Amino acid sequence: MARIGVFVCHCGTNIAGVVDVKRVAEYALTLPGVKYAIDYKYMCSDPGQNAIIEAVKEHKLDRIVVTACSPRMHEGTFRKAAERSGINQYMSEMANVREHDSWVHSDDKEAATLKAMKLMEMSVAKVRRSEALSKMYATVEKRALVIGGGIAGIQAALDIAEAGHKVVIVEKDPSIGGRMAQLDKTFPTLDCSACILTPKMVAASQHPNIELRVYSEVVEVNGYVGNFDIKIKKKASSVDNKKCISCGVCTLKCPSKRAQSEFDEKIAPRKAIYTPFPQAVPNKPVIDREACTFFLTGKCRICEKVCPTQAIDFNQQDEVVTEKFGAVVLATGFDIFDSNVYGEYGYGEYKDVVTSLQFERLINSSGPTEGHVVRLSDKKEPKNLVWIQCVGSRDESKGRPYCSRVCCMYTAKQAMLMKEHYPEVNCYVFYIDIRAAGKNYEEFVQKAQNEYGVIYLRGRVSKIYEKKDKLIVRGADTLSGSQVEIVADMVVLANGLEPRKDAKSLAQLFHVSYDQYGFFTELHPKLGPVETAIAGVFVAGACQACKDIPDTVAQAGAAASKVLGLFSKEKMEVEPLIAKVDPLVCSGCETCYNVCPYSAIEMEDREVSRGNLKHVAKVLDSVCKGCGACVGACYSKAVDLKGFSERQVYDQIETVTQ
Amino acid sequence: MEVKEKKLNIVGFLCNWCSYAGADLTGLGRNIYPADIKIIRIPCTGRMDPMMVIEAFHKGADGVLVSGCHPGDCHYSEGNYYWRRRYAHLKELLDFFGIDKRRFHASWVSASEGKKFAEVVKKVVTETQDWKDSNSK
């Protein structure tokens, strides 16, 4: 007969404020097998855990149920407590009466208490059927994959490499650098973005432990923490990097004028054979086959003729390699919100309405205009500029209720830079609120207004229309309560941030969850900000949520430290909650063999009784992930799943419906 | 000692990685929903044996909800696809058994859809109550 202990947590008032915890504990004592039950203020605290340990010893309990928060929160805590008390850690269960009860039924305390009693009873029913399981270990491949070569990816890779482990950076563009390479200056210090980024790019490329795979993408992911098998596709660049000496003659002589530079946000043309920007790392050109005259018409081959080292290879094919990694950092960054969604601002219709990133390229001295800010329509210098904030931020009607966190700051920065370059211009900013929470951020915005004379107007812009060669910006100034109209030469939209377009498909490859916008979901909003629900997969930078450069760098370092923690162990503990086959019941139909997503089932001819061979399924313990697809599919009920066994689930069903 | 209220009894089977986490988020966001549902945690909807649903009805459950990851988002790659196929057949079978369709629900709720889970439960409770009311007339 089982000897079960039930421990009911108050969680301060989180549970006890709604659920009558005393009644739950009293009810527990009426259940068969329950020998001990108490309620306590904080079960997860040291005294709480010690109370469990002492109770187990004193009352000779052999299994425990902790009625508290979600097992996703504290299952590990109480399994460890169980182990310390001398019983097997898998002889513990939790009943989730906080997330699934007190927090969601605070309107009906009686119903919440009855439900808590029921949830506890279900867990008691389940733990009665629990088995002692022994720990399992797996090896760790001490090699990390960083996806995304922006500042987040570079920083994470450098930190891991510095600690002595091999890192591969996969970047889909021809160069690492990411968004930060596109920026002119950074707030709040106004130091040049490229000047602080390029040394890091070079450091990454020269580090003996870092391997760059640019123009590459992850296409398939198998395996699990410590042992990922990842397929990486290197797109054909049509240039043999071993021969290329980065002289740049090919780009200079290329006659193609079809393509627009992605790096310059499509405000300048680029050649068909190109490096995205002069400081690109690695500084090797690629051929854009959709723009190349040779690939389109079969004639040209000028780059091939001018190349001094015969590095051009038109026959190059995409290459796919499969490699083993122990951990992955996702650092795919952001896109800016699509300005076309705001029809009233006339983006795309009026050439002089530009996005914030286009403005960065315009004012950047290595940009297409060499830092001369000119109107895209007539190349004249603008005299009056208007910034519109929250384009795709804090706007429920456009499906973007969140604040992008950086726009207030970069708007102030851009207006200040404009004033620095051209002191006589007028800069106006339409804003909703100024959100400048960061070290020296508020001071920075104040400086823009007080020292640089940037004029801030609190209100939304309702319409922009063209009048001769001017843009009329009509909006509200809610502080003076009046309509304002500004005759502008140029309008800059302060676009909000959103995840990269292909972030969702990448998340699906790794089975990492994402929110409705496509931002990767971290393990816990407060206590697991760089982990994901998938062990061994971490996140860094704006792919997880909007953030600025310092926060991105900090998160990248945190992700790297998690990777290093994983790599510090020779062997890693893995959950023994896996499937097992009863060979006596198995009919050898191979259904489980066919449904298993991990190829963890093997068919074998096994001696089930003396001299009697039987064709049966066998689970490969180290490969099984415990999803239970085989259990759901088995016709003869020969497979069962430890920790979620048939008897456990059926007993829970019976308890609910009693 | 327990006073049994005349309430619905709904069994919820939630996959550990998406819907169970989503239901946790419902709690974190304090989104109130009816207490009629009790949740059983399973690793994946692919682990769902249709017999579990039948057993729940057999034992007297008023309603059953099975919720997993969105198609394409399964933690175990394809478990929810197996469940989707089983669901399609099971729905017809339950109908054949004479179990009203308003009593059996399936949904996709991700780990970030806390509010959606509350909405799903409300819908399941409303429809099951609907069935119960029409049945008692």
Residues A404 and A482 in one domain: yes
Whether residue B32 and residue A105 make contact (CB cut-off 8 A), yes or no, is: yes
Chain A residues touching residue B11 (CB < 8 angstroms): 653, 656-657
Of B39, B80, B113, which to mutate for an interface test with A (greatest number of A Cβ within 10 Å)? B39
pTM for the whole thing?
0.84
The CATH number linked to A626 is 3.30.70.20
- pLDDT bin (cut points 50, 70, 90) of residue B137 is low
Q: Does some domain include residue A292?
A: yes
Residues A326 and A342 in one domain: no
Q: What is the pLDDT of residue B3?
A: 40
10 Å Cβ neighbour count for A110?
Answer: 13
Q: What is the pLDDT of residue B5?
A: 47
Nearest CA in chain B to A94: B41
Q: Cβ(A628)–Cβ(B44) under 8 Å?
A: yes
The CATH number linked to A534 is 3.50.50.60
Residues A383 and A493 in one domain: yes
Q: Does some domain include residue A638?
A: yes
The CATH number linked to B78 is 3.40.50
Among candidates A73, A115, A631 on the partner chain, residue whose Cβ is nearest the Cβ of B35: A115
Residues A363 and A429 in one domain: yes
Residue type at position A351:
K
Q: Does some domain include residue A313?
A: no
Number of domains, chain B: 1
Per-residue pLDDT tens digits for A369-401: 999 999 999 999 999 999 999 999 999 999 999
Q: Does some domain include residue B54?
A: yes
User: How many CB pairs below 8 A link A and B?
Assistant: 170
Chain A residues touching residue B49 (CB < 8 angstroms): 631-632, 646
Q: Which residues pair with A146 in a beta bridge?
A: A169, A329
Q: Which residues pair with A312 in a beta bridge?
A: A239
Residue type at position B89:
H
Per-residue pLDDT tens digits for A170-225: 999 999 999 999 999 999 999 999 999 999 999 999 999 999 999 999 999 988 88
The CATH number linked to A78 is 3.40.50
Residues A368 and A446 in one domain: yes
Nearest CA in chain A to B18: A513
Q: Does some domain include residue B28?
A: yes
pLDDT beyond 90 at A526:
no
Q: Does some domain include residue B46?
A: yes
Whether residue B59 and residue A653 make contact (CB cut-off 8 A), yes or no, is: yes
Per-residue pLDDT tens digits for B33-50: 999 999 999 999 999 999
Report the candidate in A645, A654, A647, A649 with the shortest Cα–Cα distance to residue B57: A654
Residues A347 and A444 in one domain: yes
A623 shares contact with chain B (CB less than 8 Å): no
Q: Does some domain include residue A205?
A: yes
Q: Which domain holds residue B45?
A: 10-136
Q: Does some domain include residue B1?
A: no
Q: Does some domain include residue A655?
A: no
Q: Does some domain include residue B4?
A: no
Domain boundary among A520, A538, A567: A567
Q: How far is B104 from chain A (nearest CA, A)?
A: 15
Chain B residues touching residue A649 (CB < 8 angstroms): 40, 42, 52
Q: Which domain holds residue A635?
A: 579-642
Q: What is the pLDDT of residue B1?
A: 40
Report the candidate in A192, A9, A198 with the shortest Cα–Cα distance to residue A101: A9
Report the candidate in A148, A8, A105, A111 with the shortest Cα–Cα distance to residue A66: A8
- pLDDT bin (cut points 50, 70, 90) of residue A85 is very high
Residues A26 and A90 in one domain: yes
Q: Does some domain include residue A15?
A: yes
Number of domains, chain A: 5
ipTM, interface predicted TM-score of the complex? 0.95
pLDDT beyond 80 at A332:
yes
A220 shares contact with chain B (CB less than 8 Å): no
Q: Does some domain include residue B120?
A: yes
Largest CA distance in chain A: 98
What tokens does A514 get?
A: 């994402």
Residues A153 and A190 in one domain: yes
What tokens does A644 get?
A: 């979620």
Of B15, B42, B55, B121, which to mutate for an interface test with A (greatest number of A Cβ within 10 Å)? B42
A509 shares contact with chain B (CB less than 8 Å): no
Helix locations, chain B, DSSP H: 19-28, 50-58, 79-97, 114-136
Residues A345 and A322 in one domain: no
Residues A28 and A94 in one domain: yes
- pLDDT bin (cut points 50, 70, 90) of residue B6 is low
Q: Does some domain include residue A633?
A: yes
Q: What is the pLDDT of residue A563?
A: 97
A502 shares contact with chain B (CB less than 8 Å): no
Q: Does some domain include residue B72?
A: yes
Helix locations, A163-312, DSSP H: 193-206, 249-253, 293-297, 302-306
